[in-house]
Chain A
Amino acid sequence: MNRPQTLTQKIVARAAGRAHVDVGEVVTCNIDLAMMHDSGGPRRLQPMLKRLGASIWDPSKVVVVSDHYVPAVDAESASILKLTREFVRDHKIERFHDMQGICHVVLPENGHLRPGMFVVGGDSHSPTGGAFGCFMFGVGATEMCGAVVTGEIWLKTPGTILLNWRGKLGPMVSAKDMMLALCKRLGMGGAEYQVVQYAGDAISGLPMFERMTLCNMAAELGAQVGLIAPDAVTEYFLAERGVTNIDTARWQGDAGAEYLRVEEFDASDLAPQVAAPHSPANSGPAAEQRGVAIHQAYIGACTGAKINDLRMAASVLRGKRVAPNVRLLVAPATARATAEAAADGTLAALAEAGAILMPSGCGACAGYGAGVLAEDEVCIASTARNFKGRMGASSSKVYLGSPYTVAAAAVAGMIVDPREVAS
């Protein structure tokens, strides 16, 4: 009974208390960690738990992050944040990160993830955790309620689509460009709630924060999970954050494991990409959108405001100024990213170029926080989604690009290939 398994099958089998699971098999899995935020978490779960007369199965396996309504802008958001604080106190949840940044980045920064874990998150970008070799997927509030009451969740074991990237990204080309190209190639929802796993020498060469971007936007491909097998880069990143004794060798797909399909890509010839409104799949080379005038440039969100994203933007902006009549908003993904950016001169470069610094949180990306758009305004953002009306008025238009491309557009006042601004 040593049939080869994918990494997905191995993690699911372990969580289901089995040696082996087949793709398509429905199993009940034990949850290693449940993550929820202020929007979909306590305020939604509290009335459900009350109705059930139930409590949380194991508070030590729950992480709560306030990142959506931060900082409060009115009485409603303030009361949501207050309720969240009372909830973690009442339920004795110790792993609570209040206004420290966006959950998907806060989680690994604080050492909550390790390879092989089976994790549910109350947010659709939960696949971000797959960058660390976790099987992590998003659920809604009612499902989260069931998960934290019982400590388990049912799952139809997904198959794996293997995306092999060879070569090396060129200058000013990033993981975000890989994802926008993949959204076009596979289509929104093209992964059909299976797992997408990234592999190949182009992936091995990427730092963890770039790998997180790949797994984060697996959501836009419609995947249940984005996954990268852990390696020395993973191990080093986690060790720096206090996570040691990880079994990298165990959490690899077996030789001979079956994949739904394998697709090959070359990172070397990829150009900076831009997705036009209103879909991440509506993408192509940035040069094809050259000349689209913008009102706002936004570096933010779990997808595009991690410390390395801020550094990318700063590398374009250093010694330059944001164009007149354009506003560049920068909302670092976490407080730690802000501190690191302050320490290494990144923040100074952003500020000197004319960027407006915003609080760490989900912010304008989902239309929740400051920085939303008026009717007919045009924005280019380092976020993951440009659905109609998501960032504000329903006639506003959002283009998506990498932090390089967003910064370059802020300088040029219009969409350009970032390599043009740099040269």
Chain B
Amino acid sequence: MRAVDALMACLKAEGVDVVFGLPGGANLPTYDAFVDAGIRHILVRHEAGGGHAAEGYAKATGKVGVAFATSGPGATNLITPICDAMMDSVPVVFITGQVRTELLGTDGFQEADTIGITMPVVKHSFMIQHPQELPRAIHEAFHIARSGRPGPVLVDIPQDLSRAEIDYEPVGDVRLPGYQPRVEGNQKQIRQAAKALAAAQRPVIYAGGGVVNANGSEELIEFATSDRFPVTCTLMGLGAFPAPHAQWLGMLGMHGTRAANYAMDEADLICAVGARFDDRITGKLSEFAPRAKFIHIDVDPAEISKNVPAHIPIVGDAKHVLAKLVVEYRATGADPARLNAWWTRIEGWREKYPLGYEDSTDSEIKPQYMIKALFEATGGEAIVTSDVGQHQMWAAQYYDFPAPRRWINSGGLGTMGFGLPAAMGAAVGCSDRLVCCIAGDGSVQMNAQELATCAQNNIPIKVFIMNNGYLGMVRQWQELFWDGRYSHVDMGQFPDFVKLAEAYGVTGMRLEDKGTLVEDFKRAIATDGPVLVDVRVTREENTYPMIPAGQPAREMVG
């Protein structure tokens, strides 16, 4: 059998039901194998779209996403999705074609040093040097991508090796002596954490994307409600704890709620779970949570004490550790009444500083209202993807996510153009659920070509463009921190998104009236197939509240 036919067998053995990709010269053998493989392949219009679609698929389903590209420019077009998957710990296997081995290192046509270029942004990579190695490399790639802290793994296959004949034997194991992620958590440390929690007067649970990745949401809820622990989540963790909930403080960080940020600031004990103390969370590091001791639970030991020194480090995944922690915590017999004063303080912040905005008095659509209307129109039950910018923050603030894997966005890398292809991937992976993309008019243009993919394959995503004609977040920063000197942020009203939608064979709508917005959204959602909705919103609205970059939480504005 050819190595590429073995590749298909390996994908099936890994349970792959769909992949995203684009063929080219160096992966012609692979695409020949697709003809008879019985694996659904979705032809994208740009490799970056394919990569983000694989990410969206992985985030929505919890399974490993797969993206294919050819050598050279095909592979370099994958760099952004690979880096994005690295930053947000998304399990994706990227399989690239490479020039024939005799051409390697000669600057051959469409040759790029894919392994070298991607090395800083992959969890691991495999350069196939003998065709016989391919099946094992594929299985090891899947194993590495999905286990421990998930991430992107790349397999680069020279064209001549991919078509070579091999003796294919199914591979049932992995041989990775240098890769043994620890998920269980040290029992002694967990007990110590339970005792610290029992002693805490002002505790906060700070949960991140690691809870979602570990499918640890139920354990988080059980742990948090085993007492009245206040819970906040990072942008990546939204949905890991249901919103709204009596113990839910809202998102924390730069555009988080005051209740969440002030609680972190005054906490005496912070229990970080699957979160990495990113600068968008901590603000000025030296003034971050100055009164707190830290329990840090993470499957990646290198995250513990990287930015904030931990008092109780626990290496393990959220699901395993929280399940044990709740048992240990209950056994301490801690008195919930000790948290009364803390809750009084938190309730004070909640009442004084709710999320809010000044609504229009006419038909103008405020961007915040747009999110609330979408929440209402979807009953809060959609999978929502987003691009990056103001619309992303408003979506995070105003769409209450009741469950994990409903909120899919690019948090770490902050990739504009992520939302539309990610929605496409999510919709392919979760065909029974409504998938909406909340996009910016700037961001959506960075991967709008995938509308063609959606139209051709009838992938029924509903894309809602929050159109203010600006690169809105950059405009906001120029207004607030650069004396209002707007520099290259005005996008005008180009393109005509309704016409663009129609050109791609997608239903296009334009909405400008607040009064009918919920009904109009319901109409868009009820429309068969992919829909692109151009929602005209207030042009110069700012995202608040906000911790200015490099400032402590106490300095929140707006």
Q: Do A and B belong to a common assembly?
A: no
Name A's B-contacting residues (CB within 8 A): none
Name B's A-contacting residues (CB within 8 A): none
